[in-house]
Amino acid sequence: MSSVVPLSEREIKNTIVLFDVDGTLSPARLHASPEMLSLLSELRKKVAIGFVGGSDLAKQKEQLGDNVIDIFDYCFSENGLTAYRLGEKLASQSFINWIGEDKYKVLVKWILKYLVELDLPFVRGTFIEFRNGMINVSPVGRNASTAERSAYEKFDLEHKIRHNMVAALKEAFPDYGLTYSIGGQISFDVFPTGWDKTYCLQHVEKEGFTTIHFFGDKCFKGGNDYEIYTDPRTIGHSVNNPDDTMRIVKETFFS
Ligand code: M1P
């Protein structure tokens, strides 16, 4: 951390650039390239940088490196429900405190019953992942390998498995105040409405950043980058893949 230029001395003042992770900094659930990491390190000399991902911190460490909290000024996992600033953990709320044990049990039982009735070509394990700020539900199971993920994703798109399950959940729990977000290949996230990626903005606003760039690949309505991309507080950049992110970063900050 000692070689990092202090936030107040970055070349472009009061500016932060936030990045989604999967599909924006790295291919889905895979590693970011050395070229991307090196570009981020150069960018950090000019502006403050952060990531805001739906996944938990353990997965982001796999993708961006074990030292992830040292190479970004801000780390926002689970949409910012787990947050770090310059390596220090920030206070946050939790999904289970918000929903309460009783309502949570009802929800989990409903999900498990629904999954039992599905007829998928194959299933693996870990169908509900309990996180600090959300739960993640995967009909095929989070233990699917990279090849199995791709096969499942194709099947899911064809048969609308997640789409239909989300519709059924909305119908079954109209008064729960939950948002269901399909952000990746094999699962969807469930969190209190409002705890989407805009949740992290409260942390950076407090610091006085007046220009907030956001890069994401799922900026369309229904995608998990949509809310932060369209938020009036951000300048949104919609990208198709990590190469696109690198191109736009170079054009915007290095030309
Ligand atoms: O970051 C996008 C999503 O990445 C994963 O999705 P999947 O495993 O379905 O590809 C999950 O960690 C999910 O929570 C996250 O939103």
The string of pLDDT tens digits covering residues 42-79 is 999 999 999 999 999 999 999 999 999 999 999 999 99
Ligand 1 mean position, distance from CA 233 (Å): 25
- 22 noted as active-site residue: yes
- Kindly state whether residues 101 and 180 are assigned to the same domain: yes
Q: Which residue's C-alpha comes closest to atom 1 of ligand 1?
A: 54
Cα 251 from chain centroid (whole Å): 25
CA dihedral 123, 116, 139, 52 (to 10 degrees): -130
Q: 141, 174, 192: which is the final residue of a domain?
A: 192
- Kindly state whether residues 86 and 101 are assigned to the same domain: no
Q: How much is the pLDDT for 92?
A: 87
- Kindly state whether residues 215 and 226 are assigned to the same domain: yes
How many domains is the chain built from?
Answer: 2
Q: Is residue 2's pLDDT more than 70?
A: no
Cα 62 from chain centroid (whole Å): 14
Q: Which residue's C-alpha comes closest to atom 13 of ligand 1?
A: 55
* CATH for 15: 3.40.50.1000
Q: How much is the pLDDT for 3?
A: 77
CA dihedral 65, 70, 73, 75 (to 10 degrees): 50
Q: Parallel, antiparallel, or unpaired: how do β-strands 88-90 and 82-85 relate?
A: antiparallel
* CATH for 106: 3.30.1240.20
Of 193, 197, 118, 121, the C-alpha closest to 152 is: 121
pLDDT band at 29 (very low <50, low <70, confident <90, very high): confident
- Kindly state whether residues 35 and 81 are assigned to the same domain: yes
**Which residues span the domain enclosing 224?**
7-93+196-253
- 225 noted as active-site residue: no
What amino acid is encoded at 158 in this protein? Answer: E
Q: Could you tell me what percent of the chain has a pLDDT over 90? A: 92
Judge whether 148 lies within some domain: yes
Sheet holding 48-52, edge to edge: 88-90, 82-85, 74-77, 48-52, 15-19, 211-216, 234-238
Radius of gyration of the chain measured on its C-alpha atoms: 18
- The CB of 60 under 6 Å from ligand 1? The reply is no
pTM over 0.75: yes
Q: Which residue's C-alpha comes closest to atom 3 of ligand 1?
A: 184
Q: How much is the pLDDT for 86?
A: 96
- Whole-angstrom distance, CA of residue 63 vs CA of residue 29: 7
**Residue pLDDT, tens place only, 232-243:** 999 999 999 999
Ligand 1 mean position, distance from CA 208 (Å): 30
SS3 label, residue 123: coil
Q: 192, 214, 237: which is the final residue of a domain?
A: 192
Q: Average per-residue pLDDT in the chain?
A: 96
Q: How much is the pLDDT for 111?
A: 98
**Residue pLDDT, tens place only, 69-108:** 999 999 999 999 999 999 999 998 999 999 999 999 999 9
Judge whether 168 lies within some domain: yes
- Whole-angstrom distance, CA of residue 123 vs CA of residue 144: 8
Judge whether 237 lies within some domain: yes
User: Which atom of ligand 1 is found nearest the CA of 22?
Assistant: 1
- The CB of 57 under 6 Å from ligand 1? The reply is no
Ligand 1 mean position, distance from CA 13 (Å): 33
- Kindly state whether residues 112 and 132 are assigned to the same domain: yes
Judge whether 242 lies within some domain: yes
**Residue pLDDT, tens place only, 132-182:** 999 999 999 999 999 999 999 999 999 999 999 999 999 999 999 999 999
- Kindly state whether residues 187 and 109 are assigned to the same domain: yes
Beta-bridge partners for 82: 77
Q: Please report where in the chains the tokens 């915007």 appear, as a residue.
A: 252
User: Which atom of ligand 1 is found nearest the CA of 187?
Assistant: 9
Judge whether 141 lies within some domain: yes
- Kindly state whether residues 201 and 88 are assigned to the same domain: yes
Token readout for 63 is 């993708």
CB 23 within 8 A of CB 63: no
Q: 149, 167, 192: which is the final residue of a domain?
A: 192
